[in-house]
Copies of this chain bind each other. A is one copy, B any other.
Amino acid sequence: MSVTDELLANAERYAADFDKGHLPLPPARHVAVLACMDARLNVYGLLGLTEGDAHVIRNAGGVVTADERRSLAISQRLLGTREIILIHHTGCGMLTFTDDAFKTAIADETGLKPDWAAEAFTDLDEDVRQSIARIQADPFIPVKDSVRGFVYEVETGRLREVKA
């Protein structure tokens, strides 16, 4: 039995208890969260979210690339979110390699060099500030009054704000 099959069995239990069939499409709390994909970062649990509350966007690092700007533009323009919360975290895998080494290793193995930036970083707080700056510089995300960035501490469970 694959892990996917085990998780599908969990999904059947979720459906059996389901009572949230009439939630509206726009997020009730008008907030979009952009966080790292890290397995230890439970966005719903950490922020006390429940079904219907918030858009949750996630990727390796919680960084801001074109696809996150696309998602945030759709989130605000079509679905009415007004606040953005960015979450990086301690112990992130993105702190453990460099773009050059990672892409060279892939090129050595596959014969092709990735045509994307891996977005590795060396300083957590600085990368949170970089992510905020990329959002502030984007011409297609209309609402930027509340774009705040945080570091989640995987050791303590605490969320620490990164000041500009």
Give residues in A with beta carbon < 8 Å to B: 2-4, 6-8, 10-15, 17-18, 20-23, 25-32, 37-60, 65-71, 73-75, 77-79, 83, 85, 91, 93-94, 96-97, 102, 105-106, 110, 112, 114-119, 139-140, 146, 148, 154-159, 161
Closest 8 CB pairs of A and B: A18-B157, A10-B48, A67-B67, A27-B39, A60-B71, A15-B157, A11-B159, A7-B47
Residues on B with beta carbons closer than 8 Å to the beta carbon of A2: 83, 146
Closest-by-CB residue of B relative to A109 is B142
Across the interface, A159 reaches (CB within 8 A) one of B8, B94, B96, B140, namely B8
Residues on B with beta carbons closer than 8 Å to the beta carbon of A27: 39
